[in-house]
Amino acid sequence: MGRWGLRRGARGCVGGGGGGGCAPGAGRAAGPGSRPPACPRMGSAWGSAARRGGSARPRLVPEVTRVGIQSHLLSMGASLVKLEAVAQQSARTRLLPLLHSELWHLRQVSMAEHLKAVPVEAAPMKAEPGPMAKEDPNVRGSKDRGLKKWEETEPQAKRLKNNEEDEEHSKKLPKRKIVLLMAYSGKGYHGMQRNLGSSQFKTIEDDLVSALVQSGCIPENHGEDMKKMSFQRCARTDKGVSAAGQIVSLKVWLIDNILEKINSHLPSHIRILGLKRVTGSFNSKNRCDARTYFYMLPTFAFAHKDHDIQDERYRLSPETLEKVNQLLAGYKGTHNFHNFTSQKGPKEPSARRYIMEMHCEAPFMREGMEFAVIKIKGQSFMMHQIRKMIGLVIAVLKGYVPESVMERSWGEEKVDIPKAPGLGLVLERVHFEQYNRRFGNDGLHEPLDWVEEEEKMTVFKEQYIYPTIIKTEMEEHSMTNWLNTLPNHDFDAGSQEAKADDGNTKAPASLKGSDGGGDH
């Protein structure tokens, strides 16, 4: 008996089980160039040895007809690619010439013609493939009219599949959690945070997300749903507020020259100054320990309403600067700032905020006008908190309200506090001290200190932020116009409101907060 279950001679092939082989003569060769007729046991021969746990090579029966192979493989939905793989795997078997012959034949005719031209009962098989089968006109009018030739459909489908795979491969770039150091001029924008569904109010994030999509850093659907890229800004700046050191965290594809490509799709007054890898769970808002802002304003805002000139001719004296810093230092520590925002009530724990530093630097001249910068560092700030803190100090210096109102504002009673213009407010930098101590020197991540980008931040402030503040102030007189509204504020309104509440009367509508937003 042969190794593959074929016994040369009068006896047929060896079947599985105990039932014996095929009829005598079924396995005898008919002569040179011919092949044996069909084997009635072809279906049970494939892989029988493997199922019985025998030899590593399956017992294959070569007495299989062309119709048997075709009907068997076609019924399983095998493609030409799979047939070629079978042929390669069968290189050591006697079926290799048979499979190659069938491959050649199947590529020449359509599936419909093959199924109709070669009925299952037919069993002739030649050693060499015949000439290309001609198309049967009757088939074209049958129900198989819509079928195309394999030689046309299979290569086309293969090309489409390869194109899809190439597209997928091109997008399988490293997707990592990073932080971006941003600088922007906030004039003309309704704050930092994106407002989906409200295209009327343009924000900084609108331009940023658009640049990320166009540069190929994120897919388009991530721009529509920012949670998909784990986007988080460190500070939510208000309308008109600028930033020299804003931080956003997100997941992106780390493409080549990523900073240059993003900036190429951003306006000149919005720049990405730096990029660093961070831990996978990093959240720029929650990981931030503190935020530093500065407020740039003309010094005539400190001039007393009864004793000093009220325009750009005013110059800040050392005595007045000392008084300014004395008032600003009163904000240091933890206080209840519910009167400095419209979002919190006096008994809400989140209204208590910790201020680390607040002072006014020496004045300087720009475009013939004297300016000064107030710097403030705190753990976090509520909406409009900084602008109201500065507004109250200005009201005290100008003589509209006594100094004692500052301590009264930290109590539970309502105090009407003026809000300084947003033009001069700038987010200078954010701090990640705890993160830097834990991960900054672990050998895998960089500390988020941005020392190397310090010069870029200074250049951006000098090129875009300072000129915008100065030019807008000189053209629109935002500080002058706001100073003219200070006499309209009733700083004793809190006492009147408390009496109204005791008498179960409704507070005046002018005392209700109307601002929206959140912490930053």
Closest by Cα among 376, 390, 469 to 423: 469
Distance separating alpha carbons of residues 499 and 496, to the nearest angstrom: 5
Ramachandran assignment for 404, one of left (phi > 0), alpha (psi -120 to 50 degrees), beta (any other): alpha
> Do 60 and 94 meet the contact criterion of CB atoms below 8 Å apart?
yes
Q: How far is CA 349 from the centre of its chain?
A: 33
DSSP 265: T
**What totals of helices (H) and strands (E) does the chain contain, helices first?**
19, 10
> Do 176 and 254 meet the contact criterion of CB atoms below 8 Å apart?
yes
Is 225 annotated as catalytic? no
> Do 104 and 148 meet the contact criterion of CB atoms below 8 Å apart?
no
Place of tokens 């930053």: 520
CB atoms within 10 A of CB 320: 19
Please check if 435 is assigned to a binding site.
no
Parallel/antiparallel/unpaired status of strands 369-378 and 290-298: antiparallel
Catalytic residue among 136, 144, 206, 238: 238
Cβ-Cβ contacts under 8 Å for 122 (sequence gap 6 or more): 67
Tokens encoding 112: 């419909």
Active site residues: 238
Annotated binding site for substrate, which residues?
A: 293
